[in-house]
Amino acid sequence: MKDFSSWRREAINGLVDQNILRSPSVIAAMMKVPREEFLPSDVRNHAYVDTPLPIRFGQTTSALHMTALLCEYSGMKLGQHVLEVGGGCGYMSCVYAEVVAPSDHSPVDWGHVWTAEIVPELAHLGRENVERMGYSQRVTFVEGDASNGLDNVGSFDIILTTSAAPEIPDGLIGQLNPGGILLIPIGHAQYYQELVRVRKSQHGTITHENLGGVAFVPMRGKRGWSL
């Protein structure tokens, strides 16, 4: 039987050595959340291989380095409100929660993570994982299409999408707080994509920055690809 704790520590330290992980709060979050607990039994023994892994229903959870980069590129920190479009198995949502609402801080200081998953069966699985792992106070897991934003919640400091869109949805930009950041892969559903960082200034000015090539599953929903 694998010693997942030691393997997790080795994998996360490897990301630190590669300068992918830099923020102490993100390092602590990834050390704390056990990826293996969110995976199907047939891939659990690959939990800390730095690669996307299948999580059923034709979907994957992102590679460890991509989880780290989404946290680092967004500047995620204590107290922020985060929207994740594509909750999957719930692992990444819980990592974000340990950054914005760490368990060793008072709940008074906590931010919150909202995550939406459009695949009903996967939404059920992800919600069960979040609840089983004790994150339901810090993560709200909903079933539905958030490709153009999440209704009746408000606005967010950070929006992260874990699937590739044809273009940047205006509804997501509209739900960014002043000073907020959106990270979204843009490009062909099955081929090469670019990870784009969208910033909204305190005055509402929008800027875009290309962070390099990535490979994500295609976005579904009203602002996704027709598949």
CA distance 139 to 98: 10
Quick one: tokens of 209? 């920055």
DSSP secondary structure code for residue 38 in this structure: G
| Contact between residue 101 and residue 178 where contact means Cβ atoms under 8 Å apart | no
Residue 136 annotated to the active site: no
Question: 74: buried, middle or exposed (CB in 10 Å: 19+, 13-18, 0-12)?
Answer: buried
Radius of gyration for the alpha carbons in the chain, expressed in angstroms and rounded? 16
Distances 180 to 55, 155, 204 between C-alpha atoms, Å? 30, 9, 10
Q: Which of 5, 6, 62, 147 is catalytic?
A: 62
212 alpha-carbon distance from chain centroid: 18
Distances (CA, A) of 103 to 81, 94, 110: 16, 11, 9
- Which of the residues are catalytic? 62
